[in-house]
Chain A
């Protein structure tokens, strides 16, 4: 065994989990554990208490309102990937989940855990930031909601309250006609991406393209939403897409490490963003050309 010694508690309710979290400055929430347990094994994380939230029933459920789909923090990635609910209403997330780790880690890893962990190359965090998902934390008995577009502020760093427990993610339901695209480049399948891009184009009969969401991950310290609103109302031809992406990428700060230079990441992210938008356009080409 390699981790440091810690206590282990398995609360039955969210409030009990929050109480435990407040009782110990060095407590950590354990969800699927697919990122936390390697960190424990490498002793990068040295908690004194792990709070296993896997047995809190309300965290494993999906919810639906007229406009939103809610995903409980403990919904496993494999469950979300297979869910018809997700495929229908959050098609971009369904597409991205295929890139998250590999089948055995998706079987245990959770959608909420990935967002809370905030790895800069995490696909789920990228989709959440791109679509502006709402992230709900339970803090001191009350719900606090964060916009995923400004939630991530650094590598493994978010604006989440330290004594809060992520309870659910809420995504706006995609319209009946919408196109999505997701691309990433990684050294090998399931490895951390060097650059990734997600795009969704929303369309409404009569008014045309109503909104365009584009985000890139893995190139900076956190997943970032890019502003390409100028594309709404254009014919979305290849050159317009390329111009908009190049303009938006000007502002992006990229990081460098031994796997890829900053210039490489930026170049690849630009190309992937263009491809993701083209894919999204391709999925609604029939409606666009009417």
Chain B
């Protein structure tokens, strides 16, 4: 058994785990965050996408012990904070408005992939959006409304925040 200490959604989390436990299982079973979905569990579907230092990665393709000391954001860390605590974040709102989800199983992964894109590219083209979600499979929507959602979120974030891309996190309250 190994000790693992990492930061999840801004909070330090420690746990004791076998080395063979993936980060996905650690997040769901040790940290109790069930929003990160287990889909294929071998790196094909993208349902388990989380952010490490702002970059989208597959939590099923990482062992929890490899994530020691890392700063991880899951779908639970994406919503509003402060006065907007409990409300949806900008990207989440956009997915609702454009019908960017049906069954919702792929949605946490899609939203985190979108977050990773929009944190470094505030004005993506449709091609760039499709590239960013190319590792995420959706079996319901046909992707059109997902792409619409991410473009809408980009537009709204641009209207609210013309400053440097790094400020985009503050809009969603990820750093607070």
Interface positions of A (Cβ within 8 A of B): 1-8, 10, 30, 33-34, 37-38, 40-42, 50, 52, 54, 78, 101-105, 107-108, 189-190
Contacts and interface: CB of A to CB of B under 8 A. Distances in A.
Given A1-B18, A41-B42, A104-B113, A190 B135 contact: yes
B19 A37 contact: no
B63 A37 contact: yes
16 contacts: A1-B20, A6-B19, A6-B20, A8-B65, A37-B22, A37-B61, A40-B20, A41-B22, A42-B42, A103-B56, A103-B135, A104-B46, A104-B49, A104-B56, A105-B61, A190-B135
B94 interface: no
B142 to A, nearest CB: 14
Given A37-B43, A41-B42, A104 B58 contact: yes
Interface in B21-66: 21-22, 25, 41-43, 46, 49, 52, 55-58, 60-63, 65-66
B19 A8 contact: yes
Contacts of B126: none
Given A103-B113, A104-B56, A105-B58, 5 more contacts: A37-B63, A101-B135, A103-B134, A104-B46, A190-B135
B80 to A, nearest CB: 25
A104 B41 CA distance: 14
B131 interface: yes
Nearest to B19: A8
A1 B61 contact: no
User: How big is chain B's contact interface, by range?
Assistant: 20 to 34
Nearest to B24: A1
Contacts of B88: none
B20 A5 contact: yes
Nearest to B52: A107
A104 B46 CA distance: 9
Contacts of B66: 30, 33, 52, 54
B147 interface: no
A38 B131 contact: no
B116 interface: yes
Contacts of B58: 34, 104-105, 108
Which of the listed residues A34, A37, A41 has the most CB atoms from chain B within 10 Å of its own CB? A37
Given A7-B19, A78-B55, A108 B135 contact: no
A102 B137 CA distance: 12
A189 B135 CA distance: 8
Contacts of B176: none
Contacts of A50: 19, 63
A101 B52 CA distance: 18
B159 interface: no
A33 B42 contact: no
Contacts of A52: 65-66
Given A1-B18, A102-B135, A37 B62 contact: yes
Given A3-B20, A105-B43, A105-B135, A34 B116 contact: no
A107 B132 CA distance: 12
